[in-house]
Structure 1
Amino acid sequence: MKSTILDLKAIQVRIAKKEYLTDALKRHGFVALPSNAIINKRLPGLGATYCELTAPRHSIIIEPNVPVIVGKALKHPEAFGVYRGVTAKQIQAYLKSDVPYKKILTTPESFGRVKEAAAKANVCLHSDYFMLIDECEKLVQDIHYRDSIALPIDDFFKFDQKALVSATPLYAVDKRFAHQGFRVVNVEPDYKYRKAIEVITTNNVAETYYELISELNKLRKGRGTVCVFINSIATIDSICYRDSAWGNDTATFCSREGFSKLIYKKDRNFYDTVEAEHIKRYNFFTSRFYSAVDIDLRTKPDVIVISNVRTLEQSMIDPATEAVQIYGRFRNGVRSFTHIVSLKPDMQVSSGEEVCKEVHASEKLLSYWKERHEQAVNSGEKEMWLEAIAGTSFWDICNADGELDPLKLANRMYKEQVKSLYTERGKLLAAYGVVPFFDVTDSHREFLIADDDRVIALSRGVREVMARNLLEKLDRLHDLMNRNPAKHKSVMHQIRSITGSPWAELLYRCYLEKGLEWTLKCKGRGVMMERGLESAGSLAQKNSELLRNKAFKIFRVGYEYEYGEIDKALTKLYAKHNLFTNRSSLIQDLKRYFKLTSRSVKGRRYYRVEAKK
């Protein structure tokens, strides 16, 4: 969000193809990155941090997250990375070392430890070091959920030498920029650099993804690398699970906290940093890898970005910043770049003018409440006004002193601006159209089953209405499959996406075995459907010696099993014998063969096999 209020002088630096930023700056009279500057380098990968890491001066470089620091520290052994786990003593030892030009790479959260170590080592950071904030747009983009990203800002303005840099800079209307004579340095390539991108809008993101993967597999003859970017652990989980793409074919790149949220962890290739040997056939990246990280691959990958905005607003990306940054992660280029998008026309969005009016009104209200707090004579009344002040939504964009925070205000404006792009296809395409980095093509894919249908199928609502709607869609899908056998795989994907819950799976089983009319008469009632499927013959088969002996081989006396393990094992056993799995009576089924005892641990039910029957 370029400010219309913050008016800074701009200068231009021309850069030639394959020229590093260091050389371009020297041609324009700069021996290193200029101070008191916001450097808009236009393109990722021009070597701005390299320029500072090799400059003949001491530097502190603020990077948005740990993987960036790890990667750059590996390439520059004399640099020192600071993040969680690195102590002030270790930093102090580095500051006292014989490294001629100290280069400290740190996260915003760890900058405090750098200050602590510098004070103990009698080092004056503000006068002796150059501070560079890399990928400075993250300050505006992330502060709404990560207050700590702004921790170095006040210190930044105290440094004698300092700069902000990004290929896609965003900055707040902070008066200190003008007071300290900041300039905007625009790096202008003197060559054509536009990159191809296809924007696919759809009513079903998952199916569009599977179709695209199928098309790429045919085009690449089953070879090549695919890199998928999406800010949702749950979506990564569901895509991998449905594709059964485990083992050496798939890798997930996310934080350790993100990995703990994955449901399907067994045999999972998980990494919290990126190295070439980690890359598999299919690779999934969360938002911590959208910017700054260098992904060095021998071959060019096919890159897919997923924004399932209809069901997950956090998956939105900004065409002008995040899309460019994601493309720029691949230093050797990409084979194709695709953004799959579901739109949300009914999303609530405020215009910039509306946000400003809201802020102005809130400021007046907050000022009045502060006055009443100061005038209060007893502690109870003072506490009441404090609670009122802290409870206002305006407080979310204030600093610790209760004053309007320029970064948080910029973030509020920026978020609303990006949200508005995902309410209409035309707005999103227009936003891509004005980004100099991209040449845009677009298409739309429509499916019988939409993202909303999958969410509804997995939710709880009026069963009769849900059953009727779901059966109608299942019938249309089977009709499509019968008329066009080539669509079988795609249709079955769509069916699985809306029959994931036990109730929807039961409904679909009834549809297949009993037909549409009979299933409609059940009105979504689980008991009626189960009774209809579970015939006398199947009950006799479950009681047979054959199944009893097979159960004895699966479950062992003296062992304890979690409910999910029992569900999986019995479902697999029954499927081999074409028997219906009634999930409401699984434990009763197991009691046909064993004496059981049970216990609960943190909400999970465990069953111990005491003896055979």
Structure 2
Amino acid sequence: MADILKKLESNTIYFKVLPGIKATTLEIETDRHSLIMEANVPVIKGKRKATYLKRKVFGVYEGVNVDDVINYMSSSSVKYKKIMVTPESFFKVKEAAEILEIELFKEYYFLFDECDRTMKDVAFRKKIILPMDDFFKFKNKAFISATAVVPSDPRFIEQNFTQVILEPTFDYGKPVEVLITNNVSVLLKEKIQENQDSMLCIFLNSIQAITSVIEDLQIKKECHIYCSKEKMYTLKTIGYNTFDNVPSDDRSSFANINFFTSRFNSAVDIMMNVNPIVIMATNLFFARHTMIDPRSEAVQIVGRFRNGVDKIIAITNIDKDLDAKTHEESIGYLEGCEESYSTIKTLRNSANNEGAKNTLDEALALVKYSEFVNEDGTKNHYMFDNFLYEESVKTIFESEDNFKAAYCNNYFKPTFEERNYVISDKDYKVAKNGISIKSLVQLIVNTIKRLTENPMAYQVDNRDVVMKELERSYPHIYQAYHVLGEQELIKNSYSKKQMKDAVKKKIELIDKRNFSFIHDLNHAFVDGYKAATKIILKHMQAIIDKHGLNLRASIKLFQEYFKTSARTTIKQPDTKGYVVYSAKFNRDPDTK
């Protein structure tokens, strides 16, 4: 970067095109005070530990307080201050500057790194745009990203921002193996097993999906999971190797198999002593938020690996029911929402009655469009941009052709393969919450029935794998299906207790009718047999245990097999027991 730019200019949106060209490094090493906004903490921690930087950076995020910032900003030993801060902690820098009477907006250069996060994350992370009003107050400032998107915020035009594209003069496209499948869960596990001798870095934005893969393959010891601090602590308590930051200098600290959630998709430097195989997985039927956009997220992921990669694999399924809107439809939808919201707002402002005003205030707050409005009533342009972007991503995953087209860009040289299995993600992806036990049972029964269908129409027969996953995920329903059968299970599926009781009764009935068990009982208790109660029960339990039956010896059970006397005195003075008159099931001739 320093070869083409001596420093970053002001009021500029930089399109880096390629990640990892050291634009942030250039700003850190420029002789001026810098405030660098980073969307995620791991980026800041990585830069703090980086040994290749000529200057040390000061990180401001959760756990760092205003006093810490004051001490750094007032330090005479640091000539040019380099502060990296998250959007949520930006207020600490402002407070420190006010206390120290530093003219922050004049003295510091503000670089918003990976600036497209403002638009991509704002729907679930409202505070990411908190610094934007202050951003425009800085005399010197810039937006930068390898996958930057021009914001619709009119202040960029008002302040005459220019756009600079930093595009390489060489062919930078990387080969990628793109696999479109109807079963991401199975194909991902196959790819892990195929490449188990290589270092793997798997990007999958679902902790539940990650742990499911690990448990299915029984590879907990061989894996690291890189995720948020909150998830990290939860997973550590159940034995997973989890981290909220990637190693910066100790390159051997990675596991053979490494899983990453989306917080590591961009900006983080991943330094490894080997070139890994990178797998990017999207499973729409497991969670929509696992989508990896080939135009941006995939580019950023590959760019994390500063020493290069061995191979890139992208795995996805397709959902034709995403109901995505075209760009024109999205614009029309938002305009309609805005018009309706404005109508309600006008009614509210013209209302004279307090009750009417309160009612209309409630209506304004409940309308979904309220998410697209700032607290001061102005349009939230970043939410608008987010909606348009999200709909464009959904369009990609609506069809195989759209997905293939998205990978045909300057960043990638794709090869495509479609792989279909007998059972798809959609077939056995069953909601665990918000569904009745009866509906859940019916869904699983339908899936199991499909396992008996002719697999000839599919490329891969994955029925055994799916059956094992069903058994692991829904053991009680799986057992009930095989014990009770389809019709009996459905009859007894109104509650878990009803289903369990039915299974228990059926197993007891099956055990009671065990031919070998009955044969051994008849041999042990011949006609005329006489013994104390505890002796009878002891011998009967021994026979039950021998056959591994789910029964418990009792006189009531004993009398299901034999006609006996009433409880009587077997031995004086007071030993009570029973006399066997005859067997209720046919005896062999030698046991009468």
TM interval, shorter chain, is: 0.7 to 0.9
Aligned letter for 1:53?
A: I
Contact 1:309 1:343 in 2 (8 A): yes
Give 2:214's aligned residue. 240
Distance change in 2, residues 1:361/1:48 (3 Å): same
State how 1:412-561 maps to structure 2 within 5 Å.
Answer: 412-433=387-408, 435-456=409-430, 460-462=437-439, 465-466=442-443, 469-476=446-453, 491-499=463-471, 500-507=473-480, 509-510=482-483, 519-520=485-486, 522-524=488-490, 525=492, 526=499, 527-534=501-508, 535-536=510-511
Give the one of 84, 87, 96 matched to 2:65. 87
State how 1:184-263 maps to structure 2 within 5 Å.
Answer: 184-217=163-196, 223-247=197-221, 249-259=222-232, 262=235
SS in 1 for 2:485: helix
Aligned letter for 2:137?
A: K
1:22 and 1:152 map into 2 onto residues whose CA distance is: 28
Unpaired stretches in structure 2, ≥5 consecutive residues: 493-498, 518-544, 553-592
SS in 2 for 1:427: helix
1:140 and 1:578 map into 2 onto residues whose CA distance is: 66
Give 1:598's aligned residue. none
Give 1:22's aligned residue. 2
2:382 and 2:448 map into 1 onto residues whose CA distance is: 50
SS in 2 for 1:42: coil
Q: TM-score, normalised by structure 1?
A: 0.77
CA shift for structure 1 position 85: 1.0
Give the one of 123, 130, 133 matched to 2:112. 133
Unpaired stretches in structure 1, ≥5 consecutive residues: 1-20, 26-30, 218-222, 511-517, 542-575, 586-613
Contact 2:13 2:163 in 1 (8 A): yes
CA shift for structure 1 position 378: 3.3
SS in 2 for 1:384: helix
Larger displacement relative to structure 2 (171-180 or 31-40): 171-180
Distance change in 2, residues 1:476/1:113 (3 Å): same
Deviation string 1:83-123 (CA, Å, 9 cap, x unpaired) is 01111111011111020100000001100110000110111
Distance change in 2, residues 1:240/1:578 (3 Å): farther
SS in 2 for 1:23: coil
CA shift for structure 1 position 505: 2.4
Larger displacement relative to structure 2 (492-501 or 332-341): 492-501
CA shift for structure 1 position 146: 0.5
1:231 and 1:580 map into 2 onto residues whose CA distance is: 45
CA shift for structure 1 position 321: 0.7
Give 2:287's aligned residue. 312
1:321 and 2:296 equivalent? yes
Aligned letter for 2:204?
A: I
2:275 and 2:550 map into 1 onto residues whose CA distance is: 46
Give the one of 291, 305, 317 matched to 1:330. 305
SS in 1 for 2:195: helix
Contact 2:445 2:481 in 1 (8 A): no
Contact 1:296 1:330 in 2 (8 A): yes
Distance change in 2, residues 1:200/1:265 (3 Å): farther
2:176 and 2:102 map into 1 onto residues whose CA distance is: 48
1:68 and 2:33 equivalent? no
Contact 1:453 1:498 in 2 (8 A): no
Give 2:377's aligned residue. 402
Larger displacement relative to structure 2 (52-61 or 165-174): 165-174
Contact 2:423 2:451 in 1 (8 A): no
1:346 and 1:492 map into 2 onto residues whose CA distance is: 28
2:258 and 2:153 map into 1 onto residues whose CA distance is: 39
Distance change in 2, residues 1:279/1:464 (3 Å): closer
Give the one of 15, 22, 25 matched to 1:40. 15
2:150 and 2:307 map into 1 onto residues whose CA distance is: 29
Give 1:271's aligned residue. 243
2:21 and 2:546 map into 1 onto residues whose CA distance is: 62
Give 2:563's aligned residue. none
1:238 and 1:581 map into 2 onto residues whose CA distance is: 31
1:457 and 1:381 map into 2 onto residues whose CA distance is: 41
Distance change in 2, residues 1:580/1:167 (3 Å): farther
Aligned letter for 1:505?
A: Y
SS in 2 for 1:475: coil
1:577 and 1:304 map into 2 onto residues whose CA distance is: 51
Deviation string 1:466-514 (CA, Å, 9 cap, x unpaired) is 465344234349x99xxx9x97xx543221122321333204644xxxx
Give the one of 388, 391, 394 matched to 2:363. 388
Deviation string 1:229-287 (CA, Å, 9 cap, x unpaired) is 1111110111111111122x11111112223565x843211100000354101111111
Aligned length: 502
Contact 1:33 1:52 in 2 (8 A): yes
Distance change in 2, residues 1:528/1:107 (3 Å): same
Distance change in 2, residues 1:509/1:580 (3 Å): farther
1:132 and 1:467 map into 2 onto residues whose CA distance is: 52
CA shift for structure 1 position 178: 1.7
Distance change in 2, residues 1:306/1:89 (3 Å): same
2:421 and 2:10 map into 1 onto residues whose CA distance is: 54
SS in 1 for 2:58: strand
2:474 and 2:263 map into 1 onto residues whose CA distance is: 31
SS in 1 for 2:4: helix
Give 1:78's aligned residue. 56
Q: TM-score, normalised by structure 2?
A: 0.79
State how 1:108-127 maps to structure 2 within 5 Å.
Answer: 108-127=87-106
Distance change in 2, residues 1:255/1:538 (3 Å): farther
CA shift for structure 1 position 531: 3.6
Deviation string 1:149-190 (CA, Å, 9 cap, x unpaired) is 001111111111111111110232122212222111111211
2:234 and 2:353 map into 1 onto residues whose CA distance is: 47
Contact 2:276 2:309 in 1 (8 A): yes
2:20 and 2:399 map into 1 onto residues whose CA distance is: 32
Deviation string 1:302-350 (CA, Å, 9 cap, x unpaired) is 1111110123111112111100000011111111111110111011212
CA shift for structure 1 position 457: 9.1
Distance change in 2, residues 1:457/1:363 (3 Å): closer
State how 1:138-217 maps to structure 2 within 5 Å.
Answer: 138-217=117-196
Contact 1:233 1:261 in 2 (8 A): no
Deviation string 1:407-440 (CA, Å, 9 cap, x unpaired) is 110101000000011110100111111x211001
- Report sequence identity in percent: 34
SS in 2 for 1:400: coil
2:99 and 2:34 map into 1 onto residues whose CA distance is: 18
1:537 and 1:245 map into 2 onto residues whose CA distance is: 41
Aligned letter for 1:237?
A: T
